[in-house]
Structure 1
Amino acid sequence: MMRNVRKLAIGTALATLVAAAAAGAQGVPAAQAPMPSKDPSEFLREPPKPSSVKGDFTLVAIGDMLYSHPYAGTTDPELRKVLDIVRSGDVTVTNQEGVFIDLKTFKGSAYGNGQLWGSGTLAKDMKDMGIDILSVANNHSTDFGWEGLIESMRLLDAAGVSHSGGGMNLKEARAPAYFDTPKGRVSLISTASTVKPNARANDAFGETNARPGISTLRLRRVELVTPAQMDAVRALAIERASVREPAPAPDAREITFGERIYRVRDKEPADWAIHWDMDLYDHAGLLQSVREAKAQSDLAVFTIHAHESPTGVDDDNPPPPNFLIKLFRDVVDAGGDVVVGGGPHSLRGIEIYKGKPIFYGVGVFFIRGEIKALQETALRVFPDPATGKAPPPKPEERSVRPGGNPASWYDSIVAAVDYKDGKAVAVRLYPLDVGNTYDRSRRGIPHLADPANAKRILADLQKFSAPFGTRIAIDGSVGIIRIP
C-alpha cells in the first residue's frame, strides 16, 4: 500500500515540475502555463476542410530515395522511362533517406553504426528528377549529427525542393512544408517512428535550450502473449522480484519484466506478436499539424518512416503494425488527403479510407546508398568460440541473399493519384524492378517491371490490400484502383 502511495506522490510531484518547467519556458505562472495536448481526439471532433485542388490534378508518390550519387541525367533508357512518370504529375512526393554533404568540407561528426551518405549534389539532382516536396525524417536523418541534417535542408532550400520533418526545434520539425502549383497548394507533414538516439528535435523547456532534429512519433513496444505464456512470465517475474522490480499482481494482464512489457493477447489477429502504443503527446501533435496544414493548403499529404512491424522491426512482413492503421485513419479524419508509409522497404497494402488513399508501404525508389563506417564500427571483431581468435574472413556474397537484403526490397511502385475538382477518382500503380541481380551496376536502380514481374507485384498488392477491402484491377502492366 505504501508503495502505491509513494508512486502517486512521485507522479504528482513530477506533474508539478513539468508544469513549472513549461511555465518557465513560456514566462507565465505555472497555473496559466499552456501545455500541448495529449488528447488526439481533440483534433478529430470537427470535420476537416475538403480537398480543393482544381480541375484534373495528379499527385505522384515514390518510395525512399536511398542513393548517394546523381542519376537525373542518366543515359539508361529504362530509368528514363520511370523518371518520365515521376515528372508527369502536378506534384511528386518522396522521402530522402539519409543526408547529403560534402565530406571534404563538412565540419560535423558521424554517430552510430553505418552512416548513410549522399553527395552534396543530390538536392539539385532530385529537383531535376521532378521531385517537388519530400520528407527528411527517417532513421538515417542524424547519421552525421544535427549538423548534417541542417546542411541537407540548406541544400534542399537552395535547390528549390520543399521539405518537412526536420528543424531547429520540434515546432519547426512538425511544421508542414508547402508546394504551390497552378491548381492549388500542397502541404506535407512528415515524421518517423524508427530513429537513432537523440534524433528527436526538442523545443526549449524550462531552463533547457531547444535542440535541432526531426519530428518523431514515440512508441512503446508491447509483447502480446497467450494466457499460458503470461503465466510463465508471471512466474519468472515473481521468482526474480526485487525492490526495483516488484512482483506483479496475480491477476495482472500486463507485466513489465526485464525492460519488456507483456500483455495478454485480446482481439489482435493471431499472427500479431507485438503491439505498439503511441505516445499521446506525439499522436495529438501530429494530428494538430495535419489539421493546421489542411487549413493552409488545398491538398494535405502525410508521410511516416516506420520500420516497425507486427513481428518486430524491419522485416518484410506485409501486414502493417497496429499503430499505423490507427494513426493513418486518424490523419485522414484530421484532414489528410493522401497518406504514404515508408521505412521497411517492402510493399504493403493500400486502403481507400473515406475516399482517401492510404499507402501502408510504397517500398524504395533507389536502394543504392553508400555506408560510411566509423572506426568503432569497422574495428570490431569478437573471438571465434572454437579458437578464441578472430574468425577467418568470409568470402564476398554474390547474391542478394543470404547476407544481403530481402528480395522483397527490390519490388516497388510509382503511385499516381488522380483528382477531379478536388476528389480522388483513381490510383494508378506502376510496378518497379529495383534490380535484384548479381550485376552491381544494375542493382538498386528502378526500371519498369517486365510484364511477368509486373503481374506478380500487382498480384501481391491485390493480396496485401484485400484485408482493407481494396480492389486493384490489372490493365496490362499497370494496377488501377477506382475510387467511387
Structure 2
Amino acid sequence: MKTRFIQCFLILIIAACTRPPSGSPVIKNPVAKAQPSTAVAPPDAINIAAVGDIMLGSSYPDSTCLPPDSAKNSFKHALKDLREADLAFGNLEGVLLDTGAPVGYKLRFKHKGYLFRMPAKFGNVLKDAGFDILSVGNNHSNDFDVAGRKSTLKVLDSLGIHTAGFKSHPSKTFTLNGVKYGFCAFSPNGQTVSLLQTARAKKLIAGLKSKVDIVIVSFHGGGEGVDYEHVPDSAEIFKGENRGNLRAFTHAAVDAGADVVFGNGPHVARAMELYKNRLIAYSLGNFVTYKGVSISGICGIAPLLKVSINKQGEFLNGQIVSYKQSHQTGLRFDTLNLAAQRIMALTLADFRQPGLKISPSGKIKPSTAN
C-alpha cells in the first residue's frame, strides 16, 4: 500500500511539472522522449510532410557561407520522413542563382550576411530530399531581383518541383498519384502574392478549389525571432511593417477552400489549430538553414510535421517529428522531442479551444477523437 501511494504521488508531481504555464511556455525538463509514430491512417489517406524555412547556404558576397559538402547531406537524417510522404512541402528562403548582384534597395544588407543566393546546383539537393512543392513567397525571394526569381523558377521547374508565391506565379495546379492539387503561397513582401489583401487571396483560393481536390496554402508572415512565438489575435507589426493578422488570414483561407495551411517566417515554431476540421500550422520555424539565419536556442528547434487528411481535405491525424540543428552538425533527430513539446505548450497557451490535442511525443488528433 505504501509503495502504491508513493507511485501515485510521483505521478501527480510529474503531471504538475509538465503542465504548460499560462504565459510564455518554458520547457526545462522534458520527460517524453521521441518515439516512432504509431498512428495508422486509412488506406486512401493523403500523407503530407511539411517543414519550415530552408536556406542551404549563400554564395553572396563570397563562398564562406556555403556548406563544405555542397549541401549534399543537408537532409540526411530526415530523408525517410520526407521521401515516404505522398507530398513534401517547404519554404525556400532565398533564390537559386549562380551569379548576380542584389536588388538595389537590399544593398544595405551586403555585409550582414542577409542576402541569400544558393548555387543553382543546390536544386538537386532539394529534389533528392523528396520535396514536391516549395513556397517562394517570402522576404528573401527578391534578394537578387528579376534574375534571381527567374533562375529559381527555371531550376525548380526543370526538376519537377512545383512552386508558388511570386506575383508572376501565384499558384500551381498538378496531379500526383491520382489526386488533383492546388498550391498557393502568400507574404507581405514585394513581388509576392500579398498576405494583406484578404479578398484577393480568398478569390485565388476559391478558384483553385473549384478545379482540384486538395488546396494547400502557405504563408510567410508575423514577427521574427524569440519574442514572436505567440500568435496574437491582431495584425503583427515588425520593424514598422505590417506582417499580417494571421488568425484572420488563415481562417479566411479555410473559409475560401484551403484544406491545410502551413505557416513560416517567424524563425521559431508556433501553435497549431484545427479550424473547420482543417489543420493550420502557424509557423514551422527553421528546418535547414546553413548560416545567415540564427539557430541558437529555440530558433534551432526544427519540427517536421506529418499530416494525414482524407480525399475531402479533412484532418485525420498527425505527428510532429522533432529535429534540431546547429551550424556545426547540421540537422539531427532530437531524442528529447523539444519541437513537439514546444508546439504543444504554445498551442495550449494561445488557443482556448484549438480543436486538437498534441501529446508530448508529438501525436496530433482532433480533440473530439478518443
Q: What does residue 255 of structure 2 align with?
A: 333
Q: Which runs of 5+ in 2 are unaligned?
A: 1-41, 58-66, 235-244
In the TM superposition, residue 335 of structure 1 has moved relative to its aligned partner by 0.2
CA distance in structure 2 between the partners assigned to 1:473 and 1:411 by the alignment: 17
Which entry has the higher C-alpha Rg, 1 or 2? 1
Matched, 1:147 2:150: no
1:413 pairs with 303, 317, 335, which one? 303
Alpha-carbon deviation of 1:465?
5.5
TM-superposition CA deviations, 1:1-46 (whole Å, max 9, x none): xxxxxxxxxxxxxxxxxxxxxxxxxxxxxxxxxxxxxxxxxxxxxx
Deviation at residue 319 of structure 1 after TM alignment? 2.0
Contact 2:77–2:331 (8 Å) recurs in 1:
no
The alignment status of 1:482 with 2:369, answered yes or no, reads no
**2:92 alignment counterpart:** 96
Query: What residue in structure 2 maps to residue 472 of structure 1?
Result: 357
Match of 2:228 among 304, 309, 317: 317
Partner of 1:121, secondary structure, is: helix
**How large is the Cα RMSD of the aligned pairs?**
2.7
Give CA-to-partner distance per residue, 1:406-451, whole Å, 9 cap, x none: 522111211111123433211211122123xxxx422xx3222113
- Relative distance call for 1:483 and 1:162 in structure 2 (3 A) is farther
92 and 71 in structure 1: CA distance in 2 versus 1, 3 angstrom threshold: farther
Task: State the match for 1:217 in structure 2.
Answer: 195
Q: C-alpha offsets along residues 319-362 of structure 1, whole Å, 9 cap, x if unaligned?
A: 22421101100100100000111101111110000100011111
Could you say what secondary structure the match of 1:472 adopts? strand
| 8 Å Cα contact 2:172-2:184 kept in structure 1 | yes
| Cα shift readout 1:161-199 (whole Å, capped 9, x = no counterpart) | 110011xxx4x343x112321130221111112x3xxx3
Deviation at 1:93, TM superposition (A): 1.3
Counterparts in 2 of 1:339 and 1:424: CA distance versus 1, 3 Å: same
Q: Give the deviation of 1:452 after TM superposition.
A: 5.7
Q: Give the ranges of 4+ consecutive aligned residues of structure 1 lying more than 6 Å apart after TM superposition.
A: none
Mapped to 2, the partners of 1:365 and 1:449 lie a distance apart of 13
Paired position in structure 2 for 1:189: 184
Query: What is the one-letter code of the residue matched to 1:317?
Result: Y
**Hey, what's the Cα distance between the residues in 1 that align with 2:324 and 2:95?**
25
- 2:101 touches 2:144 (CA, 8 Å); kept in 1? no
Opposite residue 469 of structure 1, the aligned amino acid is P
Whether the aligned pair in 2 keeps the contact of 1:108 and 1:147 (CA below 8 Å) is no
Provide the C-alpha distance between the structure 1 equivalents of 2:200 and 2:225, rounded to a whole number of angstroms. 25
Mapped to 2, the partners of 1:165 and 1:136 lie a distance apart of 5
SS at match of 2:134: strand
1:429 aligns with 2:330: no
Q: Kindly tell me: are residues 459 and 178 of structure 1, through their superposed partners in 2, closer, same or farther at Cα, counting changes over 3 Å?
A: same
169, 179, 201: which one aligns with 2:174: 179
Is the CA contact 2:270–2:343 (under 8 Å) kept in the aligned structure 1?
Answer: no
Aligned counterparts, 1:196-207, within 5 A:
199=190
**Which one-letter code corresponds to 1:472 in the other structure?**
K
What's 1:355 paired with?
277
Secondary structure, aligned partner of 2:359: strand
Alignment correspondent of 2:52: 63
Closer, same or farther: CA 298–71 of 1 in aligned 2, 3 Å: farther
Deviation at 1:405, TM superposition (A): 5.3
One-letter code aligned to 2:86: D
Q: Runs of 5+ in structure 1 lacking a partner?
A: 1-52, 200-212, 219-281, 372-403
Post-superposition shift, 1:153?
A: 0.9
1:348–1:464 Cα contact (<8 Å) kept: no
Structure 2 CA distance for aligned equivalents of residues 470 and 217 of structure 1:
24
Aligned residues: 299
Distance (Å, rounded) in 2 between the aligned partners of 1:108 and 1:417? 37
| Cα distance change on mapping 1:466 and 1:412 into 2, 3 Å | farther
Q: Percent identity?
A: 22
Query: Are 1:100 and 1:152, in contact at CA under 8 Å, matched by a contact in 2?
Result: yes
Distance 1:472 1:88 in 2: 24
Q: Is the contact between residue 133 and residue 177 of structure 1 (CA under 8 Å) also seen in structure 2? A: no
Calculate the TM-score normalised by the size of structure 2.
0.73
